[in-house]
Structure 1
Amino acid sequence: MTDDAPIRPRLVLATTLLPDGEPGLELLREAFAGGDIASVLIDPAGREVAAFQDFCEAVVPLVQEAGAAAIVVEDTRCAGRVKADGFHAPEGTIEALGEAMARFSPRLIVGASGFNTRHEALEAGERMPDYILFGKLGADGEAEPHRRNLDLAEWWASIVELPCILQGGADLATLPLAIATRAEFILLSRAIFGEAEGVGARVAEANRLFDAAAKGEAA
């Protein structure tokens, strides 16, 4: 594959906006009915420890039964208890990433975020996590992806073999900007779950745009 060859990214979802209980689970089911989803980052999103444990116990099996990876964010104990597929360290410190790698790798997928410069990202990459996320969970309120994240993902994808996840914007119309970076995975939350109606259709549209990119077609 040449450096400028088209690629087909895969979709990653974050649960940041999902409510607890059956309403949140139903939205997630609708998302999976809409098309391919590689993994789901299960975000505490301000929940207390016990509430997040309950949330994960409901969400993890749903995600796994759908054939995606269930990745618990921030809470290492919860990740182990609910038999998640992975753990995500959002602190942006080498120490937190190192602790996660020592505790979980290679048994679980381990990823991290919060590294906002090229130097920080490369230093994190030297620890060999399974991926680096450029973006911050819950910080996708603007229509377009954050310019810094776009730049970092494009640079990373051009020189580093370790996969990256790029946080997309709140509007699917801007998804081509994220796709153009050639990041292997694109994280969406508000763009999918921002409205209760049409969740599955928006997942289908994201996959349509990914397919078009892989074929070198205009969106």
Structure 2
Amino acid sequence: MSNKSPPPRPAPRLYLATPAVDDPAAFVAELPGLLAAADIAAVLLRLKETDQRTMITRIKALAPPVQKAGAALLVEGHAELVARGGADGAHLPGIAALKEALPSLKPDRIAGVGGLTTRHHSMDAGEMGADYVLFGEPDAKGQRPSSQAIAERLDWWAELFEPPCVGFATSLEEAHDFAASGADFVLVGDFVWSDPRGPKAALIEVDAAIKKAHAAALVGQDPAGQEHG
């Protein structure tokens, strides 16, 4: 066996988080154009809390256009609705939720996890069989680590572990930095939807930024000329 270094990681892809979806009709009309505009691997469906039957109906409305575009539809929480709605998986808020949901999701569906406040929790999630780990999302009080701390966590994970890591970006700059740090996916949401130019323009811009950051990281330089420690 030769001691060849592993092949470079592929360029990061986008993971698009929806606003809280109440009426899916307008969203269903907008989604195909957005999914065609950028390299979006998955859509995280945030459902407005209501009765189960209504939430399942909303998942059923959104799953086909997302899947037709070649992306996966994940539901935030609500692992028990994933199969019934035809979604591809669930994003779970922490180790306890992951543990509880794994039997209903595996082996056919994706189980991603966030809310990992320590490195130890992150490793536990990987060992339990999480399909990805998310770093950087706000907690219940809206607090989150600094961008630098999130980038360091992504870099640590990407160096040592096999399951993909996702960086939760709240700006174009964070998306760029997290891609440079080794994120396999960059989760974008609110800043895309609130962009005055519209979400499509924002997605195209952030997609280009993460690809550029990844390419620069491969050759060991930052295209913006900034020093990254």
Q: Shorter-chain-normalised TM-score: which range?
A: 0.7 to 0.9
Asked if 2 retains the 8 angstrom alpha-carbon contact of 1:16 and 1:138, the reply is: no
Deviates more, 1:109-118 or 1:208-217: 208-217
Computing the radius of gyration over CA atoms, which structure comes out larger, 1 or 2? Answer: 2
Aligned residue number for residue 219 of structure 2: none
The C-alpha deviation readout for 1:105-129, integer Å capped at 9, x for no partner, is 1111111111111011111111121
**Matches of 1:50 and 1:156, distance apart in 2:** 38
**Matches of 1:137 and 1:57, distance apart in 2:** 28
Aligned residue number for residue 133 of structure 1: 134
Structure 1 residues 10, 146: CA separation in 2 closer, same or farther (over 3 Å shift)? same
SS of residue paired to 1:183: coil
Matched, 1:123 2:124: yes
Structure 1 residues 130, 32: CA separation in 2 closer, same or farther (over 3 Å shift)? same
Structure 1 residues 88, 174: CA separation in 2 closer, same or farther (over 3 Å shift)? closer
What displacement does 1:75 show?
1.0
What displacement does 1:7 show?
5.0
Aligned residue number for residue 218 of structure 1: 223
**Matches of 1:56 and 1:215, distance apart in 2:** 36
SS of residue paired to 1:67: coil
Asked if 1 retains the 8 angstrom alpha-carbon contact of 2:180 and 2:210, the reply is: no
Aligned residue number for residue 208 of structure 2: 208
Matched, 1:76 2:79: yes
Alignment map for 1:107-186 (pairs within 5 Å): 107-136=108-137, 146-169=147-170, 171-186=171-186
**Matches of 1:63 and 1:133, distance apart in 2:** 21
SS of residue paired to 2:178: helix
Aligned residue number for residue 52 of structure 1: 55
Unpaired segments ≥5 residues, structure 2: 217-221, 225-229
Asked if 1 retains the 8 angstrom alpha-carbon contact of 2:195 and 2:202, the reply is: no
Matched, 1:87 2:90: yes
**Matches of 1:17 and 1:145, distance apart in 2:** 25
Alignment map for 1:4-23 (pairs within 5 Å): 7-18=10-21, 20-23=23-26
Higher relative contact order (CA 8 A, sep 6+): 1
Amino acid of the residue matched to residue 57 of structure 2? D
Q: What is the TM-score of this pair, normalised by structure 2?
A: 0.80
Asked if 2 retains the 8 angstrom alpha-carbon contact of 1:110 and 1:131, the reply is: yes
Matched, 1:99 2:118: no
What displacement does 1:21 show?
2.8
**Matches of 1:118 and 1:12, distance apart in 2:** 22
Instruction: Calculate percent identity across the aligned residue pairs.
Output: 31
The C-alpha deviation readout for 1:56-81, integer Å capped at 9, x for no partner, is 12111111011101111211231011
**Matches of 2:146 and 2:205, distance apart in 1:** 17
**Matches of 1:196 and 1:52, distance apart in 2:** 29
What displacement does 1:10 show?
0.6
Q: What is the TM-score of this pair, normalised by structure 1?
A: 0.84
**Matches of 1:206 and 1:150, distance apart in 2:** 17
Structure 1 residues 47, 209: CA separation in 2 closer, same or farther (over 3 Å shift)? farther
**Matches of 1:65 and 1:130, distance apart in 2:** 22
Unpaired segments ≥5 residues, structure 1: none
